[in-house]
Amino acid sequence: MDHKSLFLRKFLYDEGVDPDLRRLIHTVAVGGKYISSLLNAANRKMAGTRNASAEDQLEVDKQADIILQDMITALDYVAEYASEEQETVIKTGNQHGKFSVSVDPLDGSSLIDVNLAVGTIVGIHPVEELIDSGRHMLAALYILYGPLTTLVFTTGNGVHEFVLSPEGEFVLSQKDIKVKPKGKIYSPGGLRSEWTDAHRQYIDDLVETDYKLRYSGGLVPDFNQIIMKGGGLFSYPALKENPEGKLRLLFELYPLAFLCEQAGGMATNGIENILDLKLEKIHQRAPIYIGSKQEVEKAKEYIKTES
């Protein structure tokens, strides 16, 4: 592999990714750099290195949305932009629009003021398939703003991680990331008192079989940990009061499920595969069990006892 293939743009070219899709992914990556510096500024302000009387700005998740919307909708081949921050899908009116892009601009923003990691999640769909299922996705990626900023993507040909270098390039750090059939960590979302009996029994089973608890409360870092540590289970279940759970199918679950399947893992709502769930409205929610196949299959066994 020559030196330049380590750069995201060249890597996408060498992988034979459609030129417009390539440019779109690259544009999102550039947006990620802007968001990363936005977070730096927000955290510095919080840490008191900025004048406390500085003008109040828009919340960072709104700013992140504006950055991505401006950059993505300016592309001639993007027809639709759907954001977790907005009620409705934005139609660009671009004549050559062939992609619909779903964006969670800054997931886990409640963790910013405690200096924990947060992320951006993006799904790329053919234009006519945005409101359908997750099966037609062309690409999915997330950007994780932690001690390092990383970008993890798939275009249906494996899962690859790039790290933002001090020079501002996304440089390949891991190619073909794989999730083992069984892992050692679990990451359980939702209030325990709100869990159903079947879900609680399942989590207790993981605890009793020596899984280690690893939960930060940020979907992107928590999911990233599962796949980078070679497996395990992230869950955000159906809750007694909210049977659809908390997380959003289009903005959060489809992209992560696509990445997980591409890494050899699995994602279900406890019954059906996440990517097969039908989307009826853009802010639809669903429960999720995602990670290593054995853990996700085991969850299905428990959830089955409930129906």
Binding residues (CB under 6 A) for ligand FDP: these are 107-111, 189-190, 217-219, 246-247, 252
Tokens 């919340």 belong to: 59
CB-wise, 21 or 116, nearer to ligand FDP?
116
Q: Rounded to the nearest whole angstrom, what is the least distance from the CB of residue 108 to ligand FDP in the complex?
A: 4
Q: Rounded to the nearest whole angstrom, what is the least distance from the CB of residue 176 to ligand FDP in the complex?
A: 26
Q: Which parts of 187-251 fold into alpha helices (H)?
A: 197-208, 219-228
Distance CA 223, CA 272 (A): 19
CB-wise, 7 or 215, nearer to ligand FDP?
215
Q: Rounded to the nearest whole angstrom, what is the least distance from the CB of residue 19 to ligand FDP in the complex?
A: 33
Q: Rounded to the nearest whole angstrom, what is the least distance from the CB of residue 250 to ligand FDP in the complex?
A: 12
CB-wise, 110 or 157, nearer to ligand FDP?
110
CB-wise, 109 or 268, nearer to ligand FDP?
109
Q: Rounded to the nearest whole angstrom, what is the least distance from the CB of residue 297 to ligand FDP in the complex?
A: 22
b (16+ CB within 10 A) / e for 57-76: eeebbebbbebbbebbbebe
> CB neighbours of 152 closer than 8 A, spacing ≥ 6?
141, 142, 144, 159, 160, 161, 162, 177, 224, 227, 259
| 212-213 sheet: strands from edge to edge | 212-213, 185-188, 233-236, 288-291, 266-268
CB-wise, 17 or 112, nearer to ligand FDP?
112
